Structure 1
Amino acid sequence: MLFEWLSPPKKSDRRQYAFHGVCFFENAREHMEDDNFPDIPIGTIGGIEGWELSFDNTFFNRFEEEWLDEENGYLTNGGVLIEYGIQVEGIQSPEGVWTFNFHDRVFDCQEKWNMITFHKKKMACFHSHKQLLTFHSTYFDSDSNENQMIELTDEDPIEFENFLQVSHGVRKNYETLTLTLEYAQKYKMLNVIQLLDHAWKQMDWPISAAIYYKMNHCLAELLGKIESLEEMVEELKKVNLEKISGEAMKKCVKRFLEL
């Protein structure tokens, strides 16, 4: 988070930050003497409402003489003009888990072109660093020299944010993230598929689903529970054998020969 104190001649870089603006505190001298600077609402940041900008008088006491001398340029008509920039990178949940902030723009994205925005009906929903998503998936254009826009279709906003969190390495209760697997399949996030494959090994899945989502660890566990050739044949009837991966085919053949 940045609060930058600038004299008029100094150039501000506040626009690098996702949330930036200007606040004017009138009657600064009186507020400093009474230690009662007002709280100025500045909106929603990081998906959290109710942010306010104010000051602790102990800060002003350090620079009182300099600030109150109008020749130094800090006072304008008896008030103080504050330029601010705020960048919230992460948010800690009540359970103590740190999560990424996908609600605000990536820092300095207008200069570095390092952002992917997921939007719905032209309204931005989530912003993510481009580098991580392009590293794990060929779905996104790694050669693009501009910020990318990806349109969401029927994705559930809450579940899609869970998908982004898991994609960035945040630990969650994986057993509840069935839609995360669907989104990982759609956006070719193989790291997420592999993570859920390990986490869900003990879950009772249809074999056809394990094959479709390329959940090879889950598939091995499920095949081990099959007790007869008849049961094996019935399960494979639910699968498009022409599209089955080589790894899944090997596991199925191995189990078939064991029965």
Structure 2
Amino acid sequence: MHGTPSLPPGRLSGPEELRNNGVVKNVGEATETPTGAPQEELGTGERSTRNRVARSILDHGPSTVADLATRLGLTQAAVRRHLDALVADDVVEPREKRVYGARTRGRPAKVFALTDCGRDAFDQSYDKLAAEALRWISQSAGGGELGDAAVAAFARARLAAQAETYRAALEDVPAQERTEALAKALSADGYAATARSAPVGEQLCQHHCPVAHVAEQFPQLCEAETEFFGRLLGTHVQRLATIAHGDGVCTTFIPRKETTQDQVTDQATTASASTAGRNPA
């Protein structure tokens, strides 16, 4: 359930857009963008070139301005301008070039390297790795029901490691405000969560799920999270919809104590109908 702070949706693979920087002002050399092109096209060209600069650093490692200019066929002034923007966005960072052997006179050349944030902007295989790890856990436990139980145990243990942080967020919070407090704590972890009133209780909505692709294959992750919410809130809760299932949001129903099971079922039916067939936002 824990989300690493992530870049905006739409990760990179080669020439695609690196972050959404909008239309870039002070468009540079005519060698990069044709004269008289619409401002929106110029901005798109700027972003495309900026992506090439970041991609070149990814492919070749920490690079000097001169290295990048030669590789990409740009002027050094243009490269510096793009690097300044990438540094401002925490995509790259300047470093002193590491010198091996005897050091020559003068200041060492400055190189630019990707930050952790910059690396995360490019396509990663974390989802594939996580799914393979859970599949290995399942198979090592014997597969079938035993395998499912092993994955479920892992999912619960993963959440238990985060429990203290969430309990602290709900500590001393009045019962009627605990769902809202949980939503704020989840948002701080990247889940874009909100709480809203429902006819016979409240709904906790998570508009983003960092593990959605893995949870499609291993629903135990969603089930463990639902149990976790119930323990935190001190009441039985019911998951009505999940992004992993193809719904627009992950929705958890928190009933008032006097709510009947029939009312809970009605909430589930309504939520399923309202999110059926919707892809994650």
TM-score (norm 2): 0.28
If you compute each CA radius of gyration, which structure gives the higher value, 1 or 2? 1
Larger % of helix: which?
2
Q: Normalising by the residue count of structure 1, what TM-score does the alignment of the two structures yield?
A: 0.30
